[in-house]
C-alpha cells in the first residue's frame, strides 16, 4: 500500500514545505485540501496548476487526490452542487490526481431514501464528466452516510466506475460498524482509505496514529487479508482543533506506525 497525508493537517502551509515534509518522511503522496485558504484550490489558474504539477514531480511525490467540500446529498439546486464538483474534477485532472473527495451532507430535511436518490442523481451526472478527465469521484463515509453500508448504497445506485467511496475509518467506527463489515460493504467501490486516531467517540481531537481508540490495526489487517493494495491517507484534522499537536512533528512516527501495521498484517 502507498502512504499519504492530507494538507488538512498543515493548513495554509506553502506547497514546497508540504512536499519537503512528504519526501523527508517517506510518504508517497499528498491529499490536497481544496479550499481557498490553501495554496492549491479550484480558484487558481492554469499557470499555478502547471507550477504545482512541476513541484510535485520535482519532489517525487504524487498528488493522491483533491479533497473538496461539495455536499452531493444536500437539499437544493442540482446545478450549484454539480458546478462545485466539476470544478474539483477539473482541478484534479489538471494536477494529475486520480480522485476527488465529496461529502454526502444529507442532513435532517429529507429521508435516507431521498438523500440517497439526490446523491446518486448528481453523482451519476458527474461520473461522465469525471470519466472524460480520468478522475474518480469518491463519496466519503461522513455525516449523513457515515457507514460503509450507507455510502455503498449510493455508489450502488450510481453504478459507474468513475464514482466510488472514500473510507474514513473514524466515521464508520463512530457509526458502530466493524472494519470487516465496512470493507465488505465498500470493497466494490473503494477508492482509498483515510486513517486517523482520536481519544474516543466523545473527544475527536486528533491524536498521533496509534495513540487513540480507533481500530487501525484491524482496518489494515482487513485490507491486507483481502489483498487490497491502494492508498492509506492520514487525515489529521488540525485545522479544526487548536489544541492538536502540530502535524510536522508527528509525521515520522506516523510513518513508522503505518509501516509496522503493514508489516504485521502481511
Query: pLDDT, tens digit, for every residue of 22-43?
Result: 999 999 999 999 999 999 999 9
What is residue 181's predicted lDDT score, i.e. its pLDDT? Answer: 98
Virtual CA dihedral for 71, 77, 78, 80, nearest 10 degrees?
Answer: -70
- Per-residue confidence band for 258, with pLDDT thresholds at 50, 70 and 90: very high
Angle at 89 between CA 83 and CA 95, to 5 degrees: 140
What is residue 109's predicted lDDT score, i.e. its pLDDT? Answer: 86
How many domains does the chain divide into? 1
The DSSP letter of residue 106 is -
Q: Which helix (H) or strand (E) holds 251?
A: helix 251-265
137 and 100 in contact (C-beta within 8 Å)?
Answer: yes
pLDDT tens-digit series, residues 140-167: 999 999 999 999 999 999 999 999 999 9
What is residue 172's predicted lDDT score, i.e. its pLDDT? Answer: 98
Distances 215 to 73, 89, 177, 201, 210 between C-alpha atoms, Å: 28, 32, 11, 13, 9
What is residue 108's predicted lDDT score, i.e. its pLDDT? Answer: 84
Residue 266 has pLDDT above 80, yes or no: no
The whole model's pTM is what? 0.97
For the chain, state the CA radius of gyration: 17
* Mean pLDDT (whole number) for 246-251: 97
Domain span at 73: 2-265
68 and 8 in contact (C-beta within 8 Å)?
Answer: no
* Mean pLDDT (whole number) for 58-71: 98
What is residue 32's predicted lDDT score, i.e. its pLDDT? Answer: 98
Question: How much of the chain exceeds pLDDT 90, in percent?
Answer: 97
CB atoms within 10 A of CB 3: 21
pLDDT tens-digit series, residues 183-229: 999 999 999 999 999 999 999 999 999 999 999 999 999 999 999 99
What is residue 203's predicted lDDT score, i.e. its pLDDT? Answer: 95
Nearest of 237, 238, 234, 232 to residue 251 by alpha carbon: 234
Q: Which three cell numbers stand for residue 171?
A: 466515521
Question: How much of the chain exceeds pLDDT 70, in percent?
Answer: 100
186 and 227 in contact (C-beta within 8 Å)?
Answer: no
Listed in sequence order, the residues at least 6 apart from 58 whose beta carbon sits closer than 8 Å to its beta carbon are: none
What rounded mean pLDDT belongs to the chain?
97
- Distance CA(131)–CA(73), nearest Å, equals 21
Q: Which helix (H) or strand (E) holds 78?
A: helix 78-95
Task: Count, in order, helices (H) and strands (E) of the chain.
Answer: 9, 10
- Per-residue confidence band for 265, with pLDDT thresholds at 50, 70 and 90: confident
pLDDT tens-digit series, residues 83-135: 999 999 999 999 999 999 999 999 888 999 999 999 999 999 999 999 999 99
Domain of residue 227, CATH code = 3.20.20.150
Residue 77 has pLDDT above 80, yes or no: yes
What is residue 31's predicted lDDT score, i.e. its pLDDT? Answer: 98
Which residue in this structure is represented by grid cell 486528533? 206
What is residue 225's predicted lDDT score, i.e. its pLDDT? Answer: 95
Amino acid at each position: 500500500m502507498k502512504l499519504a497525508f492530507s494538507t488538512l493537517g498543515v493548513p495554509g502551509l506553502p506547497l514546497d514545505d508540504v512536499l519537503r515534509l512528504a519526501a523527508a518522511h517517506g510518504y508517497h503522496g499528498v491529499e490536497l485540501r481544496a479550499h481557498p485558504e490553501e495554496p492549491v484550490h479550484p480558484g487558481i489558474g492554469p499557470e499555478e496548476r502547471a507550477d504545482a504539477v512541476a513541484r510535485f514531480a520535482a519532489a517525487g511525490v504524487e498528488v493522491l487526490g483533491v479533497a473538496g467540500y461539495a455536499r452531493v446529498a444536500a437539499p437544493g439546486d442540482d446545478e450549484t452542487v454539480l458546478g462545485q464538483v466539476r470544478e474539483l474534477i477539473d482541478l484534479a485532472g489538471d494536477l494529475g490526481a486520480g480522485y476527488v473527495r465529496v461529502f454526502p451532507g444529507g442532513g435532517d430535511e429529507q429521508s435516507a431514501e431521498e438523500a440517497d436518490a439526490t446523491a446518486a442523481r448528481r453523482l451519476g451526472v458527474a461520473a461522465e464528466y469525471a470519466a472524460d478527465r480520468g478522475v474518480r469521484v469518491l463519496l466519503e463515509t461522513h455525516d449523513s452516510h457515515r457507514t460503509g453500508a450507507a455510502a455503498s448504497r449510493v455508489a450502488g445506485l450510481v453504478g459507474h466506475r468513475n464514482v466510488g467511496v472514500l473510507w474514513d475509518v473514524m466515521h464508520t467506527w463512530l457509526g458502530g460498524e466493524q472494519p470487516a463489515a465496512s470493507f465488505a460493504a465498500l470493497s466494490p467501490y473503494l477508492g482509498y482509505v483515510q486513517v486517523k486516531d482520536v481519544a474516543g467517540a466523545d473527544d475527536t481531537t486528533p491524536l498521533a496514529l496509534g495513540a487513540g481508540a480507533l481500530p487501525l490495526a484491524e482496518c489494515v489487517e482487513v485490507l491486507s487479508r483481502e489483498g487490497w493494495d491502494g492508498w492509506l491517507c492520514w487525515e489529521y484534522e488540525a485545522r479544526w482543533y487548536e489544541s492538536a499537536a502540530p502535524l510536522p512533528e508527528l509525521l515520522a512516527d506516523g510513518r513508522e506506525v503505518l509501516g509496522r501495521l503493514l508489516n504485521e498484517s502481511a
